């Protein structure tokens, strides 16, 4: 990946995002650099040269956006090689480009859901230890007819990917590819989420999130 090619890709992406969102910040540009670099690496199957893609896109951003400086470029050089090794990165990119750019990067059907929780109960070793009102935004992306899931909880849980292990009545349960996590979706009669449960069996921890 040379800088000129990266510059063309990044410029198109930034212009598209600006049209859809309006004024962009430096963190927006940082995200664009990392996500476009990761997408290029994965589309080309060139993981061994991820640092070169990162460098090309970072340099392209420095030429296009004066506010994008050396520290942001350095962050990209670290972030891109790390991100492409995450098993959920392609799903994250699919969700990002669909939501923010209106672009489908593959043909896998997805269903993005945002569940706003206003309270949760925390259980440790089966005992209720907290029952608190707290605002949490749970981002859920159901993939390939609910066969897989990507979950993040703002501000407490970074994105985690799981696969369907049980589908009974109004309950869907997913085991994380990181085996420390279990996710359960409880649906209502309209097949909308009414309750979300995060479990970490290795810590005997269960948190139930309510609307």
pLDDT in tens, 89-103: 888 898 889 888 988
Report the residue count for the chain: 211
Q: Which of 38, 46, 13, 7 is nearest to 28 (CA)?
A: 13
What is the tens place of the pLDDT at every residue in 41-80? 999 999 999 999 999 999 999 999 999 999 999 999 999 9
pLDDT category at 144 given cuts 50, 70, 90 is: confident
Residue 18 pLDDT > 90, yes or no?
yes
Of residues 206 and 156, more confidence is placed in 206
What is the tens place of the pLDDT at every residue in 115-132? 999 999 999 999 999 998
Mean pLDDT of 157-181: 90
Three-state secondary structure call for residue 179: coil
Least confident span in 36-40, 103-107, 116-120? 103-107
CB-based contacts of 122: which residues, under 8 Å, 6+ apart? 128, 129, 130, 131, 132, 205, 206, 207
Note the pLDDT of residue 48: 93
For the chain, what is the radius of gyration of the CA atoms? 19
Mean pLDDT of 30-45: 95
CB-based contacts of 178: which residues, under 8 Å, 6+ apart? 160, 161
Buried b (16+ CB within 10 A) or exposed e, 3-15: beebbebbeebbe
The burial class, CB within 10 Å (0-12 / 13-18 / 19+), for 202 is exposed
At residue 94, φ and ψ (nearest 5 deg) are -60, -45
Mean pLDDT of 178-186: 92
pLDDT category at 12 given cuts 50, 70, 90 is: very high
pLDDT category at 28 given cuts 50, 70, 90 is: very high
Note the pLDDT of residue 92: 84
If residue 181 lies in a helix (H) or strand (E), which one and from where to where? none
Mean pLDDT of 142-159: 87
Note the pLDDT of residue 145: 85
Note the pLDDT of residue 1: 86
Note the pLDDT of residue 193: 87
Mean pLDDT of 165-169: 89
């Amino acid at each position: 990946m040379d800088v000129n090619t990266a510059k063309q890709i990044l410029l198109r992406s930034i212009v598209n995002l600006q049209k859809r969102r309006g004024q962009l910040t430096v963190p927006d540009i940082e995200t664009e650099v990392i996500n476009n670099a990761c997408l290029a690496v994965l589309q080309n199957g060139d993981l061994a040269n991820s640092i070169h893609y990162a460098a090309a896109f970072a340099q392209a951003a420095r030429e296009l956006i004066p506010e994008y400086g050396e520290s942001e470029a350095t962050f990209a050089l670290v972030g891109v090689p790390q991100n492409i090794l995450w098993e959920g990165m392609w799903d994250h990119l699919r969700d990002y480009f669909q939501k923010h750019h209106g672009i489908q990067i593959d043909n896998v059907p997805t269903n993005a859901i945002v569940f706003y929780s206003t309270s949760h109960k925390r259980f440790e070793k089966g005992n209720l230890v907290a029952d608190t009102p707290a605002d949490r935004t749970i981002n859920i992306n159901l993939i390939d007819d609910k066969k897989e899931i990507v979950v993040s909880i703002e501000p407490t849980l970074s994105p985690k990917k799981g696969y369907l292990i049980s589908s009974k009545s109004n309950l869907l349960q997913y085991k994380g590819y990181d085996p420390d996590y279990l996710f359960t979706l409880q649906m209502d009669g309209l097949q909308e989420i009414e309750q979300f449960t995060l479990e970490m069996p290795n810590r005997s921890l269960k948190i139930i999130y309510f609307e």
